């Protein structure tokens, strides 16, 4: 399993792929660890989370550089990702007890009826490369705090990150086997999920991968949570603060080189402010620094691989052939590495790739609409339903229109982002289930009713 630096094309390191026997031993160890971990007092599990947060912060540069070397995220973004992982640890260390407090129910005199929350057991996490620490931590931290143990099948392009995450939990004092990375090929996932020792699965990734995991989980009657792709709309109405919308919209589309499920991808703009927004948007995008991801001044690094660059450019080329217009960008940069320039397309025809498909890179599609009704119609014209952002000076109007947007998360006058304090997840082909907040910690627990007379 080779880790390749997308900024240079050079091999970072090679890792040995684990065998089916290795997996069997890992499952055995996970079950043994679970029997001890599940009975640890919740307060002790919470305390260990604070140790994880300290470990991350004390070694943030080391972990961030691992991210940057393997998938090309600018070092500033990688450091921010590590800090966010520390935050989610601290959030559950502080709030897990409240989230898992038994809930009482109406009952006859002399009867105590309540719901208690108990862990499931070993859980499988199948995770992507684009936020190689955060995607893992936002699932693993609440799962571990609830008393489960975690087996991680990470993306094959970030094996060093996968091993570093396991080491971070170990360094913080979590017992051996509580969190285990599996460096395996994808063809072993079905067998792991079919094993009786695994009690549930979560996947963040592509639609085809999600369908495959969901099908196996369904056959095994095991719970699953899926966070899949997105083609999030960014709606700018006629009364919006256009300057702020263009500035935040640039961040929403271009951070992490546009490689984010919840990135704003389709910009739906009222005709009264369309030209002003496009001009400001172009100016903001062209001010970004594209370069070496290890440089603190870099805003946009390379895509995670040459293959992703090729796929993205094919989507852009086919959209231009269909009639779209590139107002900036649109051609791979003539330099070493998988660099694609921040790109904005206007006059985007219905059904072309940047309209109908998810674009996983720094490419924005802009649409002009006549009124809020057309804006909502265009925003919802997608098979995805992860996030949506709407911009208006009238907060009451924004709240009303938020109910009309078909998405799991809607932000008014802000970009869509995951936050430990609120549930996160999508609808339609963006998946199901929720991560973070109370919902995230109770997805993989037994909500047991206990009736005592």
| Helix (H) / strand (E) containing 2 | strand 2-4
Distance CA 365, CA 356 (A): 11
Let me know if 227 is a catalytic residue: yes
DSSP 156: T
Could you say which of 85, 89, 161, 261 is catalytic? 261
**232-236 and 387-391 beta bridge pairing:** parallel
Could you say which of 46, 55, 70, 227 is catalytic? 227
Q: Is 16 exposed, middle or buried (0-12, 13-18, 19+ CB in 10 A)?
A: exposed
Distance CA 213, CA 228 (A): 12
Distance CA 159, CA 132 (A): 10
Residues in a beta bridge with 116: 448
Q: What tokens appear for 144 in the block?
A: 């571990």
Non-local (6+) Cβ contacts of 227 within 8 A are 202, 203, 204, 261, 386, 424, 425, 426, 430, 431, 433, 435
Q: What tokens appear for 296 in the block?
A: 């603190």
Residues in a beta bridge with 412: 390
Give the chain's radius of gyration (CA, Å).
23
Distance CA 424, CA 408 (A): 7
Q: What tokens appear for 328 in the block?
A: 């900036």
- From residue 378, how far is each of 232, 233, 373, 404 by CA, in Å? 11, 8, 9, 12
Q: How many degrees, rounded to 5, is the angle at CA 169 between CA 166 and CA 171?
A: 105
Residue indicated by tokens 């684990």: 18
In DSSP notation, 259-279 reads --TTSEEEEEEETTTHHHHHH
Burial 147-186, CB ≥16 within 10 A → b, else e: bbbbbbbbbbbbbbbbbbbbebbeebebbebbbbbbbbee
Helices (H), 287-305: none
Q: Which residues are catalytic?
A: 227, 261
């Amino acid at each position: 399993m080779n880790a390749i630096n997308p900024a240079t094309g050079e091999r970072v390191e090679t890792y040995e792929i684990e065998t089916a026997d290795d997996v069997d031993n890992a499952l055995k160890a996970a079950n043994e660890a679970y029997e001890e971990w599940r009975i640890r007092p919740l307060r002790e599990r919470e305390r260990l989370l604070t140790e994880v947060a300290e470990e991350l912060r004390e070694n943030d540069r080391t972990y961030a550089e691992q991210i940057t070397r393997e998938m090309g995220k600018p070092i500033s973004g990688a450091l921010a990702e590590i800090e966010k992982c520390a935050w989610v640890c601290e959030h559950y260390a502080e709030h897990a007890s409240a989230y898992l407090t038994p809930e009482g129910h109406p009952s006859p005199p002399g009867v105590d009826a309540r719901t208690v929350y108990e862990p499931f057991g070993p859980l499988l996490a199948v995770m992507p490369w684009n936020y190689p620490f955060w995607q893992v931590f936002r699932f693993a931290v609440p799962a571990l705090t609830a008393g489960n143990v975690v087996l991680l099948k990470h993306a094959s392009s970030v094996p060093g990150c996968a091993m570093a995450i396991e080491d971070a939990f170990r360094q913080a004092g979590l017992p051996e086997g509580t969190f285990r990375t599996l460096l395996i090929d994808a063809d072993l996932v079905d067998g792991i999920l079919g094993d009786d020792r695994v009690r549930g699965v979560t996947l963040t990734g592509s639609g085809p991968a999600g369908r495959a995991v969901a099908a196996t989980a369904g056959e095994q009657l095991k719970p699953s949570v899926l966070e899949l792709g997105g083609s999030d709309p960014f709606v700018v109405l006629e009364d919006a603060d256009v300057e702020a919308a263009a500035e935040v919209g640039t961040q929403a589309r271009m951070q992490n080189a546009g490689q984010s499920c919840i990135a704003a991808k389709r910009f739906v703009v009222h005709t009264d402010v369309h030209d002003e927004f496009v001009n400001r948007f172009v100016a903001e995008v062209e001010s970004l620094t594209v370069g070496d991801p290890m440089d603190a001044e870099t805003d946009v690094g390379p895509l995670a691989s040459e293959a992703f660059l090729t796929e993205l450019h094919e989507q852009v080329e086919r959209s231009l052939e269909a009639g779209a217009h590139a107002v900036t960008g649109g051609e791979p940069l003539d330099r070493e590495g998988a660099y694609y320039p921040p790109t904005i397309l206007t006059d985007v025809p219905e059904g072309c790739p940047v309209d109908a498909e998810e674009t996983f890179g720094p490419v924005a599609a802009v649409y002009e609409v006549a009124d809020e009704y057309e804006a909502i119609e265009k925003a919802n014209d997608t098979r995805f339903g992860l996030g949506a952002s709407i911009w208006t000076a009238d907060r009451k109007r924004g709240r009303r229109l938020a109910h009309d947007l078909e998405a799991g998360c809607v932000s008014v006058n802000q970009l869509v982002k995951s936050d430990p304090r609120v549930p996160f997840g999508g609808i339609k082909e963006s998946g199901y289930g929720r991560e973070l907040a109370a919902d995230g910690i109770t997805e993989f627990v037994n909500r047991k009713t206990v009736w005592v007379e």
